[in-house]
């Protein structure tokens, strides 16, 4: 049963206070109609304090872009071309295909792939649609490629996963701030205001990164390890802290368990050994440990550089161990946190897009969780499918004899963003039915059988959850263009056509109120978060179990959300990257982002000022390496791994290690960096090893 497909927006006639559609900082902005166009104006909000980056300033340029999709597209079965079609024809192709495939191959033969940029309402509805309307266990999302290692480490240490368990403002007041694998100067520039504030107040900013990034160059100290050795650095820092007497033994005894096992492991990570493993000098390891161990207010942050590895969970755990040993989590002005990447990377994983989770961050294999959520959905708990496989495993199984034969994609572009991308593209092309909902013809949409035009961020209401766990309101300025529907409307219509049990709605407020009920009592409890309450303040921090009670801007003040209230230490050992260098592949490749582009680039590559600022892919290499290879700045290079190749011009810079090359991952075609990356997976988080693989570099011609 479904409600009618209401747009569900409360459109302000001239302006709307909302948030940037890009990263998890979720900068506050105001949209205004001015002389027939939409203008972006920054607004004072706790995260960005009136600042925006170039991506935020230009965000409205995509709203009326010539590449904007405004009608469904169907692939002609005779010519193979995508042609405009009616909504009825498109939805009929989808529902007929789903029924046929599930009749022949079973319910799990249809899969769903979501995105970390979807609103909380859409992420929730997508998880419900997969489990109730499709009855499939096969759902995951691109957030698996972002936060999963930090999430798994947080859950096993603290009993909860929230990127920052404290407000961003704490960063500006820290005496010592350690950033591991983070480059906010390019990934979330307004956050740099906090780092500038911290340094101007006399604080020490220490950055761990194989490249001397813009963030590292702004630091007071830069540790430049070999890619894939961040865990050894963490263990060495704790080794020094133990040796010098900087461990907070009272905190460890009162608030944690398992420290003795960690003590025994880190005893073997003396600085001279770790210098040989990582390339980080002993003096830098000792000075960093001293700054952490003797600082009053100390914050440790990790990000993708430390997490996107086949040992990402253990690497994050190494820094969590360090934070716990120093007594940081729950201490005023101190703590450990993770810089979430995607716009709703936090909320997107809390409410049902992950293969093993139900709304409220509940485990799908927990009988009590299944009973609670099933009751909210109006279906028997036994009818809910069990856990599925992770994002890469799902993509890699597409079209295989035992894998899904159909895939619905919302808010993602895996042809560009997935590891070993050429293999993933081949899997997508092998499907009987590929459906993509997007606002432009992304590289994944371009190979789909059905493409559905979707509303943009300025055209629908909803909520997002930023990197602090702060639930925010996204407000619409205008209705979607004629011919365009919201994802909620599409899911509601498809559920109705498929005869789904339960109730679906296209109204985001209705969906959010149901989400609150489904999350009640879970680790990510949104019961007390209402749109009105968000409107009355600058967002609401989860967990918030009661409308009448407080929210939780700071976690761990009195106890950890574990059965005994204590945090858990876990001993972790350094191990080499999944793929080491060899005579045939003698260099390390690491990947990342540039300031003017975002994620797979499907949106930002279409915005003229951003394309002008960052027109294409490049390969960054040290001048000493370039001299050995006979390469000059601007020469065309071929970078080859065991999985594929990349063609791009050389960019010589002394800011990178001579044994390492770097390429940004925003481009497609011959410039697709993820053609090279390794699909080795972390055994716990199932995170692929994006950040290091072995390559060779040659000058073309």
Q: What is the pLDDT of residues 659-693, one digit of tens each?
A: 999 999 999 999 999 999 999 999 999 999 999 99
Residues in Cβ contact with 158 at an 8 Å cutoff, skipping those fewer than 6 apart? 165, 320, 329, 555, 556, 560, 561, 562, 567, 568
Mind listing the pLDDT tens digit for each residue in 270-322?
A: 999 999 999 999 999 999 999 999 999 999 999 999 999 999 999 999 999 99
Place of tokens 């993602």: 412
Cα 649 from Cα 615, distance rounded (Å)? 12
Average pLDDT value for residue range 11-26: 86
Of 3.50.50.60, 3.40.50.2300, 3.40.640.10, 2.40.40.20, the CATH number of 587-699 is 2.40.40.20
Dihedral sign for Cα 324, 327, 331, 335, please.
negative
Neighbour count for residue 583 (Cβ, 10 Å): 6
Measured in Å, how far apart are the chain's first and last C-alpha atoms? Answer: 63
Q: Tell whether the model's pLDDT for residue 6 goes beyond 50.
A: no
**If pLDDT is split at 50, 70 and 90, which confidence band does 4 have?**
very low
Long-range own/partner contacts, residues 265-273 (CB < 8 A, 24 or more apart): 265/235, 265/571, 265/572, 265/573, 266/235, 266/236, 266/238, 266/239, 266/242, 266/321, 267/239, 267/242, 269/232, 269/235, 269/236, 269/238, 269/239, 269/574, 270/236, 270/239, 271/236, 271/239, 271/240
Beta bridge partners of 31: 16, 40
| Token pair in block for residue 272 | 């001279």
- Is 369 within 8 Å of 352 (Cβ atoms)? no
CATH class, domain 148-339, is: alpha beta
Average pLDDT value for residue range 425-446: 98
Cα 143 from Cα 349, distance rounded (Å)? 7
**If pLDDT is split at 50, 70 and 90, which confidence band does 7 have?**
very low
Q: Tell whether the model's pLDDT for residue 1 goes beyond 60.
A: no
Domain boundaries, the chain: 73-146+344-541, 148-339, 587-699
- Is 329 within 8 Å of 556 (Cβ atoms)? yes
Q: Hey, which bits of 599-659 come out as E strands?
A: 619-621, 636-640, 645-652
Average pLDDT value for residue range 416-421: 98
Q: What is the CATH number of domain 73-146+344-541?
A: 3.40.50.740
Distances (CA, A) of 292 to 203, 328, 377: 11, 10, 48
Cα 526 from Cα 546, distance rounded (Å)? 8
Average pLDDT value for residue range 639-646: 98
Residue 555's nearest CA partner among 300, 330, 251 is: 330
Residue 360's nearest CA partner among 234, 199, 498, 514 is: 514
Q: Tell whether the model's pLDDT for residue 96 goes beyond 60.
A: yes
| Token pair in block for residue 421 | 């991308």
Residues in Cβ contact with 259 at an 8 Å cutoff, skipping those fewer than 6 apart? 252, 324, 325, 569
Average pLDDT value for residue range 490-518: 97
Mind listing the pLDDT tens digit for each residue in 597-630?
A: 999 999 999 999 999 999 999 999 999 999 999 9
Is residue 666 packed enough to be buried (19+ CB in 10 Å), middle (13-18) or exposed (0-12)? buried
pLDDT at 13: 53
**If pLDDT is split at 50, 70 and 90, which confidence band does 207 have?**
very high
DSSP string, 343-399: TTHHHHHHTT-STTEETTTEETT-HHHHHHHHHHHTS-GGGS------HHHHHHHTT
Cα 364 from Cα 348, distance rounded (Å)? 16
Q: Tell whether the model's pLDDT for residue 489 goes beyond 90.
A: yes
| Token pair in block for residue 383 | 């009818």
Average pLDDT value for residue range 167-174: 96
Q: What percent of the chain has pLDDT over 70?
A: 98
pLDDT at 147: 87
Average pLDDT value for residue range 189-208: 96
pLDDT at 111: 98
- Is 233 within 8 Å of 278 (Cβ atoms)? yes
Q: In what order do the strands lie in the sheet with 204-208?
A: 221-223, 204-208, 176-180, 298-302, 335-338
Using N-to-C axis directions, what is the helix angle for 312-325 and 148-158, rounded to 10°? 40
Is residue 698 packed enough to be buried (19+ CB in 10 Å), middle (13-18) or exposed (0-12)? middle
**If pLDDT is split at 50, 70 and 90, which confidence band does 251 have?**
very high
pLDDT at 234: 98
Cα 27 from Cα 41, distance rounded (Å)? 11
| Token pair in block for residue 692 | 């290091």
SS3 272: helix
**If pLDDT is split at 50, 70 and 90, which confidence band does 448 have?**
very high
**If pLDDT is split at 50, 70 and 90, which confidence band does 340 have?**
confident
pLDDT at 8: 43
- Is 304 within 8 Å of 592 (Cβ atoms)? yes
Distances (CA, A) of 104 to 97, 101, 132, 499, 571: 11, 5, 19, 18, 48
Q: Hey, which bits of 195-297 come out as E strands?
A: 204-208, 221-223, 256-257
| Token pair in block for residue 483 | 């011919």
Question: 311: which DSSP letter?
Answer: T
Cα 415 from Cα 442, distance rounded (Å)? 9
**If pLDDT is split at 50, 70 and 90, which confidence band does 198 have?**
very high
Cα 201 from Cα 336, distance rounded (Å)? 21
Beta bridge partners of 437: 410, 452
| Residue-averaged pLDDT of the chain | 96
| Token pair in block for residue 118 | 């979807």
Chain-centroid distance, C-alpha 148: 8
Q: Supply the pTM of this predicted model.
A: 0.95
């Amino acid at each position: 049963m479904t409600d009618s497909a209401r747009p569900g927006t409360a459109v302000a006639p001239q302006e709307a206070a909302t948030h940037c559609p890009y990263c998890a900082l979720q900068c506050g902005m105001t949209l205004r109609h001015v002389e027939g166009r939409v203008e972006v104006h920054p607004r004072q909000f706790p995260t960005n304090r009136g600042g925006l980056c170039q991506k935020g300033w230009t965000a409205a340029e995509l709203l009326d872009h010539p590449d904007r999709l405004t009608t469904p597209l169907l692939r002609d079965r005779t010519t193979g071309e995508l042609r405009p079609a009616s909504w009825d024809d498109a939805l009929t192709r989808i529902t007929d295909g789903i029924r046929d495939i599930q009749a022949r191959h079973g319910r799990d033969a249809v899969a769903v792939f979501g995105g970390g940029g979807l609103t909380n309402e859409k992420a929730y509805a997508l998880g419900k649609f997969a489990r109730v309307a499709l009855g499939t266990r096969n759902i995951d999302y691109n957030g698996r490629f972002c936060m999963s290692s930090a999430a798994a480490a947080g859950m096993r240490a603290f009993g909860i996963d929230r990127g920052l368990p404290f407000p961003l403002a704490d960063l500006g007041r820290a005496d010592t701030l350690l950033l591991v694998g983070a480059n906010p100067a390019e990934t979330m520039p307004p956050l740099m205001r906090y780092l500038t504030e911290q340094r101007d107040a006399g604080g020490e900013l220490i950055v761990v990164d194989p490249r001397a990034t813009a963030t590292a160059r702004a630091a007071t100290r830069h540790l430049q390890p070999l890619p894939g050795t961040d865990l050894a650095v963490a263990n060495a820092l704790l080794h020094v802290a133990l040796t010098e007497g900087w461990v907070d033994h009272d905190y460890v005894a009162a608030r944690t368990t398992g420290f003795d096992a960690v003590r025994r492991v880190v005893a073997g990570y003396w600085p001279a050994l770790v210098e040989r493993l990582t390339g980080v000098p002993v003096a830098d390891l000792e000075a960093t440990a001293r700054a952490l161990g003797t600082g009053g207010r100390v914050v440790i942050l990790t990000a993708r550089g430390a997490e996107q590895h086949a040992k990402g969970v253990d690497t994050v755990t190494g820094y969590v161990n360090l934070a716990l040993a120093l007594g940081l989590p729950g201490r005023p002005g101190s703590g450990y946190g993770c810089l979430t990447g995607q716009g709703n990377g936090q909320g997107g994983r809390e409410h049902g897009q992950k293969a093993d989770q139900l709304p409220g961050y509940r485990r799908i294999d927990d009988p009590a969780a299944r009973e609670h959520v099933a009751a909210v959905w109006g279906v028997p708990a036994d009818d809910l499918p069990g856990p599925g496989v992770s994002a890469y495993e799902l993509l890699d199984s597409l079209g295989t004899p035992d894998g899904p034969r159909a895939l619905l994609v919302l808010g993602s572009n895996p042809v560009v963003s997935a590891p070993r991308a050429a293999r993933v593209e081949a899997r997508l092309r092998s499907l009987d039915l590929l459906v993509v909902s997007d606002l432009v013809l992304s590289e994944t949409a371009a190979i789909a059988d059905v493409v559905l035009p979707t509303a943009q961020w300025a055209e629908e209401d909803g909520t997002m959850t930023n990197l602090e766990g702060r639930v925010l309101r996204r407000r619409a300025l205008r209705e979607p263009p004629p011919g365009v529907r919201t994802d909620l409307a599409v899911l509601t219509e498809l559920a109705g056509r498929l005869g789904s049990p339960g109730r679906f709605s296209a109204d985001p407020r209705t969906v959010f109120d149901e989400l609150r009920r489904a999350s009640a009592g879970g680790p990510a409890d949104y019961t007390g978060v209402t749109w009105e309450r968000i409107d009355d303040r600058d967002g609401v921090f989860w967990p918030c179990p009661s409308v009448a009670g407080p929210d939780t801007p700071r976690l761990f003040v009195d106890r950890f959300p574990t059965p005994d209230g204590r945090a858990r230490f876990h001993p972790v050992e350094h191990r080499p990257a999944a793929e080491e260098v060899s005579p045939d592949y003698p260099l390390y490749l690491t990947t990342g982002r540039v300031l003017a582009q975002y994620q797979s680039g499907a949106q930002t590559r279409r915005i003229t000022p951003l394309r002008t600022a960052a027109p294409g892919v490049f390969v960054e290499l040290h001048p000493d390496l370039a001299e050995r290879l006979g390469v000059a700045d601007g020469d065309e290079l071929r970078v080859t791994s065991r999985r594929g190749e990349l063609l791009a011009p050389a960019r010589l810079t002394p800011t990178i290690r001579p044994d390492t090359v770097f390429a940004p991952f925003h481009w497609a075609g011959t410039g697709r960096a993820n053609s090279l990356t390794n699909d080795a997976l972390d055994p716990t988080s199932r995170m692929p090893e994006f950040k290091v693989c072995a390559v060779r570099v040659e000058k073309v011609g």
